[in-house]
Amino acid sequence: MDSSAELKLGYIPYLNCVPFFYRLQQNGFKGTLVTGVPSELNRLLQCRELDVSPSSSFEYARNWQKYLLLPNHSISSVGKVKSVLLFSPVDISELSGREVALTGESATSINLLRVIFREFYSLHDIIDRVPDIPIETLIADKKPALLIGDRALYQAQLAPTGMKIFDLGEIWYQKTGLPFVFALWIINRGILDRFSEELADLGQQLTVSREQLISHPSAAVVDVADKMGLDVATIVDYWNTIDYRLGKEHLRGLKHFFSLCKKYKLLEEEPELNFWG
């Protein structure tokens, strides 16, 4: 088959995506995987170089007219997420006027942090930027910084004495009582005529793959632990912490986040949530 006729699927090489992808091809997926961090996949979606991808919920919001959502799947948290972390030498309430370093890998986490500062702590004078040096270097120097993904999981074990660690998923849940949706499965509208059957299959393949791994993580976790330098218990606990569903409460949390992004002019408008099928 000509590769141009295959579904191009984005793949985030983070631990939180392993349950979706570890057995995906074994469960019948025959398309092409395109690897990138969330910000890279956002760009590829915008340029129509990807057909479907797990990608930043904020990317959906700012370009929602171009996209549809695959039902029932997300990367969310109900409380702690463990991999979207603010490292700080002081409490959040004491960060007024400080500069906070941001990861360049995510749109959702950056804007969640901005919402948390403004809405929950009335902090409107924080400067944030993506630095030219690794975030880990700044954390070692006890500078406030946001880190996500596997690097955040790993850095949480190494943070210097005196550095506080704030879990953004936990803060959101404490303040709102709602899940937080970090990533959605986003579909480019232009592919619907060509890939309707493949999209139907993909939804089922993702469900089966995820359920298989969460129920029986042994083979995958050994592979991942060797590559990551994290112990098996930490990885299994992390997979069980992530919420991969997309139900009514998730959508309530998503809409609330988008409304706050509009309130603070991080979005020009609140998006409609439009689903495939």
Going along the chain from its start, the domains and CATH numbers come out as 3-76+179-263 (3.40.190.10), 84-176 (3.40.190.10)
CA–CA dist 17, 75 (Å, integer): 8
Give the pLDDT score at 80: 97
Instruction: Give bridge partners of residue 165 from the DSSP assignment.
Output: 87
Q: What is the predicted pLDDT for the residue at 1?
A: 38
Q: Which residue has the tokens 């499965």?
A: 185
pLDDT of residue 35: 95
| pLDDT value, residue 36 | 92
Q: Residue 178: name the closest of 189, 167, 190, 170 by CA.
A: 170
Q: What is the pLDDT of residue 3?
A: 45
CA–CA dist 53, 34 (Å, integer): 9
pLDDT at residue 140, as a whole number: 94
Phi then psi dihedrals of residue 32, to 5 deg: -105, 130
What per-residue confidence (pLDDT) applies to 233?
Answer: 86
Closest residue by Cα to residue 112 from 71, 69, 168, 155: 168
The residues that bridge with 186 in the sheet, in sequence order, are 53, 69
Cα separation of the two ends of the chain: 26
Tens place of pLDDT per residue across the chain (277 aa): 344 579 999 999 889 999 999 999 999 999 999 999 888 999 999 999 999 999 999 999 999 999 999 999 999 999 999 999 999 999 999 999 999 999 988 899 999 999 999 999 999 999 999 999 999 999 999 999 999 998 999 899 888 888 999 999 999 999 999 999 999 999 999 898 889 899 999 999 999 999 998 888 877 787 777 777 778 888 889 999 999 999 999 999 999 999 999 999 999 999 999 999 8
